[in-house]
Structure 1
Amino acid sequence: MGAAAGRLWGMGQRRVGIFSEDHVAAISADLATAIDSAAFGSGSWDEVPAVLSHAFPGSFGGLWNMNFAERSLNFLAVRNIDPAFAKSFREHFAYINPWIPYWSGARSGIAALSEEVFPARNFADTEFYNDWLRPQKDVEAGAGMKIVGDRGETIQFIMNFPLSLSETYGKAAVEVLRRVRGNLERSISLARVMRTSVEQAVAAAAVVERNQCAAFVVEGNRLMREANEKALQSFSSGRAVIVRNDRCFMANADADARFGLMLNNLSQGVFTDGARITFRTSAGAWQVTMAALPTADPSRSNISLLPPRQLVLVLMTQLNPATPDAGDLSALSAIFALTPSEIGLCRRLFLGESVSEAADRLGITVETARTRLKSILQKTGTSRQGQLMLLLSRLK
């Protein structure tokens, strides 16, 4: 290919490796057009790695958004790679990629060749190399570019190709990536603005009509995005929620641990049954209800590279102003005919424990605790645990 290319492109032209300046310029122009089209919604991001891999036959192209710290692959577009390998990369190999240490430490905007910075032979004994890279018919060499996206996200634009083509493809591929860097950076900036706008609209709509309780919206990392007036008042008092560095924490340590777990699950799209916490502080009893908010369609080209983050709505209600403990709740026996074991469970739940935690404290199985709770709800005429806590607070 190299000799033929030299005859076709003329001996007088400047070269980037084996490629002539005209050819590098043409590839760069096509790639810049594909990037701009995807950024403005008239094209697909899938076409961007397609243009790159087409210009360098025998290679595969990839474009992805990776948050190294959170181990989250937020976007992936590949071309000329077997779907099975793309699937396994998304599900597993992206997170054990030996090139991660180099890319996570590299400055934004850098373009590099693997053979110059970290050749694949350096990790030939790894699972990534033996089970993912090597089986793909000799694509051990690569060129790539990194651009910082937003809050820990890294956009990587890469091309892998046979080691035997390093001298032919290497310098030209890096030069092409450098020439389209500005286009990709502008596209990322536009995507950042659009994502922020979408997220702000979703967050504002979630709290605008919820005036009966404290309502606020957070990201999976606890970052505050929106809050109504009652929530702001709660933050100011610090009695139930503490805000530090724009991140929220429950004033009760056990409740905060449960809050963090539920928030992580909801933000990752993991189904969470009964995303509700009841807890006490010295200032009173509180109930927190959480729900994942709808997200914009990530298939829209102009926001898919930086897809909107999953936001979580948090509703907080004060159950009773200031009761230092749950008391003996003995009146429940006369009023609702609760048994001593049922009253014991009410006491643990009222102190802010989950059903499983209460079961552990009482020395019973979780199934037994749930059966007792069902009986309690029937006897008290309540339909869910939050209503029961509200009823108990009013009886105090």
Structure 2
Amino acid sequence: MTPSLAVASQALITLIYDAATRHGAWSHFLAAFAQQLQSHAGLIWANDFSNRSVDVQLPGSGLAATYGFEAHALASFASYYGARNVWLEDATLHREGAVVTGSMLFPDHCLKKTEYWTDWLRPQDIFYTAAAIVELRAERSTNVTVVRREQAGAYDGGELALIRTLMPHLQTAFALQRKLRRLEMLSQSSTQVLELLPFGVLLLDATSQLLYANERALAMTAATRLLQLREGAPLYCPREADNGALRRLLHEAAQTGTAAAGGPGGVLKLNGLTGEQLRLRVTPLPSWHSPFGAASAIAVFLSDSSDLITSLAATLRNFYGMTVAEARLTEALVNGYSLQEYADRQRISIHTARTQIKSATAKAGAQRQVDLVRIVLTGPAVLQRNPLPA
């Protein structure tokens, strides 16, 4: 490869990996790739040899990109002329990782006798093509293709060497792009579920720094000003006494979440000078990880006196087979009441309350009271009360 092509390959490799990690950036690579190869148009597309269909949209992959083609030309290619593409007639010539030219796939001297050239290639002044067959899965190939005019001449050895140099990087980038898209979809699905919950949710890492807050949590903290969410800093209460209690709960939850010795978190009630109220339930998350690898060690569920989760007892009985007393107690715990507070309100002994919660915990498949609350808060019993809109 000549020095100039070596420099070009480095620039194009940079664009390839930028495209794999940034939405819409494949078009930038494709434009630079086509221009380097003296081509007036290019396309990232897929061909299915099993049914002779082509796909220029590549939905869900994030790979689609075009350069120099008119929309109507691409539409007619996808709907009709792709199936008449003479360069696709011999599937055995299309191997994953191969770099091919139109001349390798179909004789140049026969091209002008075909419908494909007369009705589709010629109107766009296309005669030569070169393509990188990046992937081939179950008879479906994904390709990076460039085309140019007859007077520009066939693609030469140096240009094909450049494409071969880029091939392993294209293959890596395509695989990376697909993985990131899947992870992004998983992440979006997870946060959409948290947005449905009828209370505020904060996910924190082991140092108590914020990883995620649903919209309800943002609204509640902004309205009450009893809790501050600061980027790059731990969760914080403006009042020093409250902040000390919060720090202890977060530390205990983080220790539990990292399998070290520690307590199970707990409940903290915040009261403002003008009547604002905010109830925080802090709980460890020893097994929650985001799709992108960030570990959530702590969850904080926020509610206030006007935001209690009511009418949950019947759902708990249906989902987990709890008794009326067990479901009522679980509903109180979910709303931030302690076991002692519930026993006092119901005028039962703490021993009776402990017996009830032990049975409810087992029925929900949990090991501890804190796990029971987390299962209920993030499970179908709560989501059932907030179904997706039709």
Q: TM-score, normalised by structure 1?
A: 0.41
Larger RCO: 1 or 2 (CA < 8 Å, sep 6+): 1
The structure having more radius of gyration, on CA atoms, is 2
